[in-house]
Amino acid sequence: MFEDPRFERLVQGEAAEDFDRVRFALRLLDLLSPPRMTVAVYESRSLRVEQGRDWARGADARFGVLGVPRGASRSHIVLAVAELAGVQHEPFVVDLLNQAASQRAPGLFAELAS
């Protein structure tokens, strides 16, 4: 399967909710902890997910870059971070993170709602 490292997608509509989107993405990355991956997160005009091999750190090391727009919803950010962590095709993980993000899941993920 061909992967274009310059992947970019447009966020359809804007989330009305006011929250720190970059901080939220960083919290998700802390929870998922993609193995052997260094990720840079920044505010951008569109949702951008890029990843590749980090040859300087070894054959199995990877890098990721996540651009988060001001209007991104929590759900969009969850899917982008799940993609970086390689769990975007794991419905349980994505659903759990979405529930936590929308304040429907108490307990361990309560900090994501803030």
Say if CB 38 and CB 63 are below 8 A apart.
yes
Question: Tens digits of per-residue pLDDT, 72-113?
Answer: 988 899 999 999 998 888 888 888 887 776 654 445 455 555
Which one has a higher pLDDT value, 17 or 110?
A: 17
Question: Tens digits of per-residue pLDDT, 40-80?
Answer: 999 999 999 999 999 999 889 999 999 999 999 888 999 99
Strand partners, 56: none
Considering the entire predicted model, what is its pTM?
0.74
Mapped onto helix, strand or coil, the DSSP state of residue 35 is coil
Residue 35: left if φ>0, alpha if ψ -120 to 50, beta else—which one? beta
Residue 2, pLDDT > 90, answer no
- Per-residue pLDDT, 95: 83
Question: How far is 11 from 48, CA to CA, in rounded Å?
Answer: 10
- Per-residue pLDDT, 8: 46
- Per-residue pLDDT, 43: 96
- Per-residue pLDDT, 110: 53
